[in-house]
Amino acid sequence: MERLRLGTAPDSWGVWFADEPNQVPWERFLDEAAEAGYEWIELGPYGYLPTHPGQLRDQLGRRGLRLSGGTVFTGLHRGADALDQAVEDCRREAELLAALGARHLVLLPEGHTDLDGRTTQPVELTPEQWRDLTTGMSTLARTLHQEFDVELVFHPHADTHVDTQSRVERFLLDTDPEQVALCLDTGHIAYCGGDNIAIIEAFPERIGYVHLKQVDPAVAARARDEGLGFAQAVALGAMVEPPTGVPQMPPLLDALARLDVDLFAIVEQDLYPCEKDVPLPIATRTATYLNGCGLGPVRR
């Protein structure tokens, strides 16, 4: 397990947007991430944490925190204009990451439902849209690696066009294996009925980053039966702290450890929306549990 580096993200504090009045202020997130025992964090939505490199470096340093990477949402299936916009957005964030010594940028595909569960676009892509998605991802990853030495990792996500295991596998087969790695989000794969360990074993060389989550299977089943959107399922408690959900962590962590590569394993428990006093106890228990599974570093 020594090659797996444990961290956390603003998502585990209920932060889905850069600026929302009711969410945890960024200073409190940093304070509590450190208090819970973490040394590595993600940037979260661009603009939530300070975007000036000097200010961010100072704020992290005061708390003994380091940056593992950041996240960007894109709609590459929309074609050339969307790719141009993605390049611009990713360059802006990659500059900040590179200045802080972080090398991972997690790309999340555009969803097809909104916060209320309403469908906002077709669930299935045309062959042309799929080609735009896969070739755009390969191009974008190559550009960021060449310009910033930043690794772009693709994040399959519920209620997007790359959600189920079959779609994830197709995506990996249709993208450049030399450029495109996967951010394996264990919760989203499980929520969509997939097998995380099977993906790890089938595509070991494509696992470049990990988001650790567990899912309450009863809530996931209810969401499927009632046609709920992912955000609605999260509000019902779809994502839970370990070891109370699926996938089981010990065999999953063993499969990741067998890859024998350096990987960030970032806890990203969706808690949107949540009261401000809820995240810290959960984050502390989660860090303690995962440290007991062999993951670190964790400050006691």
pLDDT in tens, 97-130: 999 999 999 999 999 999 999 999 999 999 999 9
Is cis: bond before 242, omega within 30 of 0? Answer: no
- In tens, the pLDDT along 139-180 reads 999 999 999 999 999 999 999 999 999 999 999 999 999 999
Q: Which residue carries 């444990």 as its tokens?
A: 6
Question: Which residues are CB-contacts of 100 (< 8 A; sequence separation ≥ 6)?
Answer: 53, 56, 57, 60, 67
Gyration radius of the chain's alpha carbons: 18
pLDDT in tens, 219-254: 999 999 999 999 999 999 999 999 999 999 999 999
- Number of residues written out for the chain: 300
Neighbours of 34 (CB within 10 A): 17
Give me the pLDDT at residue 18, please: 96
Of the chain, the percentage scoring pLDDT greater than 90 comes to 99
Residue 300: pLDDT over 90: no
Q: Which domains does the chain have, with CATH numbers?
A: 4-292 (3.20.20.150)
pLDDT value at position 84? Answer: 97
265: tokens are 């394993």
Question: Count of alpha carbons within 13 Å of 122, Cβ hemisphere only?
Answer: 7
Residue 86's nearest CA partner among 68, 102, 104, 110 is 110
The sign of the dihedral angle between the CA atoms of 229, 231, 234, 239 is positive
E runs forming strands in the chain: 4-8, 40-42, 66-74, 104-109, 151-154, 181-185, 207-212, 214-215, 239-240, 263-267
Give exposure, 231-254, as e/b (b: 16+ Cβ within 10 Å). bbbbbbebbbbbeebbbebeebbe
Question: What is the 3-class SS of 230-288, one letter each residue?
Answer: HHHHHHCCCEECCCCCECCHHHHHHHHHCCCCCEEEEECCCCCCCCCCCHHHHHHHHHH
